[in-house]
């Protein structure tokens, strides 16, 4: 397969939301050798009502309602890709499995496909590879009259059965998507093991890291973020990521704060307000909850850390998680202490501190800081560099070259 074939990605995310960071990093890498078209998850009427005051919604409103300029060219600095915004869809997830649900879902599929038809015509797409990014209810496979689909790929990002919202219709939709796909990608070993006997071609495809971005911040004299500017020489224990009671062990987090009273424990990322109240997090004197920050700003925060932590619960949800922040921590050269929540961490065992108990976790924080040196830093950055998105893109290109010739047979 030529490296210049077009790639259409239908995503469960909007391109500019924080949870899309890994996907967009992959898109940017693919755009070096392909024309890439990233199709946003459609906004529903419910989204329009709830989010009409949000900036991301306001700048899309004319496109969504009037179909004006639905295609946006994103410049990466070394390449570009196209973002497509579909029209407005119907909120139907609350409906039970029924003929009504199926009919309305068919309408939503039509809305999404209409956007893709227009896109194929405007950009003269003749042949393409189609990647559905964990959105099985909407166009799990794509057929366009004006262009030839070389390969249908479906990507599993999490355990669908453990998401209260997605499990309602998503589980059955995903089973169908997996059966229809020519190739299935999963980003955790646990999901790979679950699906290996359910699909003909399942490949392990974990998250990567934009290593050059993180290396650049690590090596330059970047300014300290304004909200950490006045901490002086106080050492920092840091967690970056989504804070949620279904993922983060808040009891462990509190123990970290209590056992390291002379350190600042800094949390960077979106959080659930009810968690702050339930676990009384804001009452902990050495805990700073900064909230969400732009992806581009995160390296400067991690640079301030003396040790980074992943205090995840060892539960069924986290068994299927390959933590995006792990490679980013390592790319910044930081020592990492984590619970042993996923077998995906085993490949990092020589470079991070895996903990099987609260006592281990607390002790490993002190050990990680004591053992930190230039040689260990080099080892961490070396393993992160091997997980750069460029290697993921090379593997992806190998897969589509291998499977596209057999698609549909």
Domain boundaries, the chain: 6-208+389-404, 211-385
In tens, the pLDDT along 209-235 reads 999 999 999 999 878 999 998 888 899
What does the pLDDT average to over 2-20?
Answer: 86
Q: For the domain with range 211-385, which CATH number is right: 3.90.1150.10, 3.30.70.260, 1.10.10.10, 3.40.50.2000?
A: 3.40.50.2000
CA dihedral 225, 230, 234, 240 (to 10 degrees): -30
Distance from C-alpha of 232 to C-alpha of 255, rounded to nearest angstrom: 24
pTM given for the model: 0.92
**pLDDT at res. 407:** 58
Distance from C-alpha of 384 to C-alpha of 406, rounded to nearest angstrom: 34
**pLDDT at res. 406:** 61
**pLDDT at res. 1:** 39
Residue with token string 């992943």: 310
**Rounded (10°) angle between helices 374-385 and 324-331:** 130
In tens, the pLDDT along 319-369 reads 999 988 999 999 999 999 999 999 999 999 999 999 999 999 999 999 999
In tens, the pLDDT along 55-83 reads 888 889 989 999 999 999 999 999 999 99
Average pLDDT, the chain: 93
The yes-or-no verdict on residue 33 having pLDDT over 50 is yes
2 confidence band (pLDDT: 50, 70, 90): very low
What does the pLDDT average to over 248-266?
Answer: 97
- CATH superfamily label, 6-208+389-404: Glycogen Phosphorylase B; (3.40.50.2000)
The yes-or-no verdict on residue 405 having pLDDT over 60 is yes
**pLDDT at res. 25:** 95
Q: How far is CA 406 from CA 2, 8, 401, in A?
A: 15, 19, 10
Q: The sheet that has 36-39: what strands, in order across it?
A: 71-75, 80-84, 36-39, 6-11, 127-133, 148-156, 183-186, 202-204
6-208+389-404 and 211-385 agree in CATH topology: yes
């Amino acid at each position: 397969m030529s490296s210049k074939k077009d790639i259409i990605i239908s995503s469960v995310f909007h391109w500019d939301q924080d949870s899309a960071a890994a996907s967009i990093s992959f898109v940017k890498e693919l755009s070096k050798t392909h024309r890439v078209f990233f199709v946003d998850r459609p906004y529903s009427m419910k989204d329009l009502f709830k989010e009409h005051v949000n900036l991301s919604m306001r700048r899309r409103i004319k496109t969504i309602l009037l179909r004006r300029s639905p295609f946006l060219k994103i410049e990466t600095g070394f390449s570009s890709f196209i973002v497509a915004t579909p029209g407005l869809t119907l909120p139907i997830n609350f409906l039970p499995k029924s003929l009504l649900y199926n009919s309305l879902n068919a309408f939503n599929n039509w809305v999404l496909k209409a956007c893709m038809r227009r896109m194929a015509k405007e950009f003269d797409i003749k042949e393409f590879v189609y990647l559905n990014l964990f959105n099985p209810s909407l166009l799990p496979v794509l057929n366009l009259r004006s262009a030839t689909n070389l390969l249908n790929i479906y990507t599993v990002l999490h355990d669908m059965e453990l998401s209260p919202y997605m499990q309602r219709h998503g589980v059955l939709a995903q089973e169908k998507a997996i059966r229809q796909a020519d190739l299935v990608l999963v980003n955790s070993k646990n999901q790979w093991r679950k699906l290996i006997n359910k699909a003909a071609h399942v490949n392990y495809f974990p998250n990567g890291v934009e290593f050059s971005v993180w290396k650049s911040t690590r090596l330059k004299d970047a300014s300290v973020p304004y909200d950490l500017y006045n901490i002086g020489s106080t050492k920092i224990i840091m967690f970056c990521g989504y804070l949620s009671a279904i993922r983060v062990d808040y009891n462990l987090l509190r123990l970290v704060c209590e056992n390291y009273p002379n350190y600042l424990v800094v949390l960077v990322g979106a959080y659930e307000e009810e968690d702050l109240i339930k676990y009384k997090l804001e009452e902990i004197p050495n805990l700073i909850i900064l909230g969400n920050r732009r992806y581009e700003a995160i390296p400067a925060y991690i640079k301030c850390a003396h040790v980074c932590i992943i205090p995840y619960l060892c539960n069924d949800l986290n068994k299927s998680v390959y933590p995006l922040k792990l490679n980013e921590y390592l790319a910044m050269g930081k020592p990492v202490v984590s619970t042993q929540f996923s077998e995906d961490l085993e490949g990092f065992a020589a470079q991070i501190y895996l903990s099987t108990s609260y006592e281990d976790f607390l002790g490993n924080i002190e050990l990680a800081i004591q053992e930190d040196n230039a040689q260990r830093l080099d080892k961490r950055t070396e393993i992160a560099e091997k997980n750069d998105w460029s290697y993921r893109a090379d593997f992806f290109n190998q897969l589509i070259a291998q499977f596209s010739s057999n698609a549909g047979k």
